[in-house]
Amino acid sequence: MVQKMILISMDEKGYESLKIENIVASGVIADAIDLENVSDKIKNCELNTKRFPGAVYRIEKPKIASLIFSSGKVVLTGIRNNQDLHEGLGIIMQSLRDAGVNTYDEPQVAVTNIVCSYDMGKYINLNKVVITLNLENIEYEPEQFPGLVYRIEDPKIVALLFSSGKIILTGGKTVEDIKRGLDFLEQRLETIM
């Protein structure tokens, strides 16, 4: 069963520039999968066990890359919304069935990570953020990387802040997690800016 996701409503106040960049989902779809057989029978499914222990199956519409393992586990990435997740998983399951894999009737796949981008629309003084927040859950080494890494405890979200006002949020399992993390972050930044 696929975990339900709440889609972002662009009408919600303050979330107009919040955009889903990638969704990663993983889980189990079969007891076992013969990867050599699958990679021979499914177009766009590659297996190179010297480089990676699973098969890589790419579908074009919706554009998703899936990692398929002999244990019956899968990881799907490149997903942009809930509909793409359901459609993509359905295509992958049907392709595997057509290749002779005995898949579960109800795949046990859930969202494990959502990556979103957000534009605050104003400059962020990263040095001031570091000084004011006393390095609380912060990593900032501008000589190595131009962004500031802020680890939020609850919800467990990692935010990459850039002086341009752009923010990347990752680690949420639901859009609500991302929104809560963004709300927390904006409250902390308001005290500084």
Taking the C-alpha atoms of residue 148 and residue 185, their distance in angstroms, rounded to an integer, is: 13
pLDDT tens for 87-145 read 999 999 999 999 999 999 999 999 999 999 999 989 999 998 888 876 678 999 999 99
* Count of C-beta atoms within a 10 Å radius of residue 162: 17
pLDDT tens for 10-28 read 344 467 789 999 999 999 9
CA-CA-CA-CA dihedral for 32, 33, 36, 37, to nearest 10? 120
Per-residue pLDDT, 15: 72
* 165, 159 contact by CB (below 8 A): no
Per-residue pLDDT, 157: 95
| Residues linked to residue 59 through DSSP beta bridges, in sequence order | 64
Range 182-192 average pLDDT: 87
Domains of the chain, earliest start first = 25-111 (3.30.310.10), 120-190 (3.30.310.10)
pTM: 0.85
Per-residue pLDDT, 9: 41
Q: Kindly give the residue spans of alpha helices, DSSP state H, lying in 42-156.
A: 82-98, 126-132
